[in-house]
Amino acid sequence: MTENAAPRYICFLCKRKFASAALLTKHKQLSELHRRNLTKQEEENQQRKEELRQAVAAVKRQVQEVDVALSKLETPEEARGRGRMRRALVPMMRTSTL
Ligand SMILES: [Zn+2]
């Protein structure tokens, strides 16, 4: 067995190594550093989610604006084509919010 195959007990959040699973568990349960990093990570995740939500809302607004601008110019035949394009775009935007 090589040394690389030996089990490692690492907290990736705090970038710390531990000698055993018990110590790693204890770290996750009791460490003040771990608690702080966990809170920080959750805040960052929330912030990223909010940024994504706003980005999606901005794209939707742009689509609506383009829609309005186009509707003033296009023929009925073009309007039908635009409807098809919107139906193709909207599901893509929904998946990007996840
Ligand atoms: Zn940790």
User: From ligand 1's centre to the CA of 53, what distance in Å?
Assistant: 29
Q: Is the dihedral angle over the CA atoms 14, 19, 25, 30 positive or is it negative?
A: negative
Q: Is the dihedral angle over the CA atoms 13, 19, 24, 27 positive or is it negative?
A: negative
Sequence-ordered list of residues with C-beta below 8 angstroms from that of 79, at least 6 positions apart, any chain: 71
> 74-85 pLDDT, tens per residue?
777 777 777 787
* pTM of the shown model: 0.52
Q: Where are the domains of the chain?
A: 47-98
Q: In which band, very low, low, confident or very high, does the pLDDT at 72 lie, cut at 50, 70 and 90?
A: confident
User: From ligand 1's centre to the CA of 22, what distance in Å?
Assistant: 13
- The distance of Cα 46 from the centroid of its chain, to the nearest Å, equals 9
> 15-28 pLDDT, tens per residue?
999 999 999 999 99
User: From ligand 1's centre to the CA of 27, what distance in Å?
Assistant: 6
Report the 10 Å Cβ neighbour count for 17: 11
- CA neighbor of 28 nearest in space, from 47, 46, 44, 41: 41
